[in-house]
Amino acid sequence: MSKNHGISEAVIKRLPRYYRFLGELLKQNIERISSRSLAGKMKLTASQIRQDLNCFGGFGQQGYGYNVSELHREIGKILGVDKMFPTILLGAGNLGKAIAASINFSARGCNLIGIFDIDRELTGKVLAGMNIYHTDELESFCKQYKPTVAVLCTPKATTQATVEQLHNFGVTAFWNFSHYDLTPDYDNAVVENVHLGDSLQTLTYKMNVLSEKENI
């Protein structure tokens, strides 16, 4: 069985969006929704939604649609939001500060328990309500608190060595912002590389196509 349990990456990438939309419906006290109406809100097709959810056994009932809170809960379980994976962040620079302060980790199944930086000037400073530790303390911290997820906001050149070290300390999931294209070298490790610039370039591509069409 693959790491994704045979579920395609494209379906997995859509799940957080389902979870977010369903959460918004819950806030509006909407208890039940047809796949057509959910599709309309999400700008997908009803058959796409049925196909996606069927990958996990399907949740709707013919003639009833979906029970919003049940579907939200079940997708949350699939995404692991109930797990509260102990998480550390490395690199308390510009990006690390923004991520620590603005990402709601706990709503996404991660519990941010430690922030580390190699710069001694930052040791003891407060970020996201916690003291920044020096990286010298990583090993003992990992032994004691057993984090399994690491957010990497560190320079590209240090990423591979950092990942090897963290993996030895028991970390198996890497949310990697470092611009180093990390591939999981271990059977028991998972990686999500994030490049915000790629998203911008997708936009510029679309702009390019649009402007070419307009010039025809």
Q: Which residues contribute to the site for ligand NAI (CB under 6 A)? A: 90-96, 116-119, 135, 153-156, 158, 162, 177-179, 194-197
- Which of 41, 156 has the CB closer to ligand NAI? 156
Q: To the nearest whole angstrom, how small is the minimum distance from the Cβ of residue 119 to ligand NAI?
A: 4
User: For ligand NAI, which is the closer residue by CB, 87 or 162?
Assistant: 162
Give the β-pairing of 126-127 and 190-193: unpaired
Q: Smallest gap, in angstroms, from Cβ of residue 196 to ligand NAI?
A: 3
Q: Which residues contact 192 (CB under 8 A, 6 or more apart)?
A: 173, 174, 175, 176
DSSP code of 66? E
> Smallest distance, Å, CB 181 to ligand NAI?
11
Identity of the residue, 53 or 153, whose beta carbon is nearer to ligand NAI in the bound complex? 153
Which DSSP string do the residues of 133-199 spell out, in sequence order? EEGGGHHHHHHHH---EEEE-S-GGGHHHHHHHHHHTT--EEEE-SSS-----STT-EEEE--HHHH
To 10 degrees, what angle do helices 46-54 and 9-27 make? 110
Residue whose CB is nearest to ligand NAI in the complex, by number: 93
Q: How far is the CB of 38 from ligand NAI (least distance, A)?
A: 31
Please, which residue, 24 or 181, has the CB nearer to ligand NAI?
A: 181
Nearer to ligand NAI, 57 or 197 (CB): 197
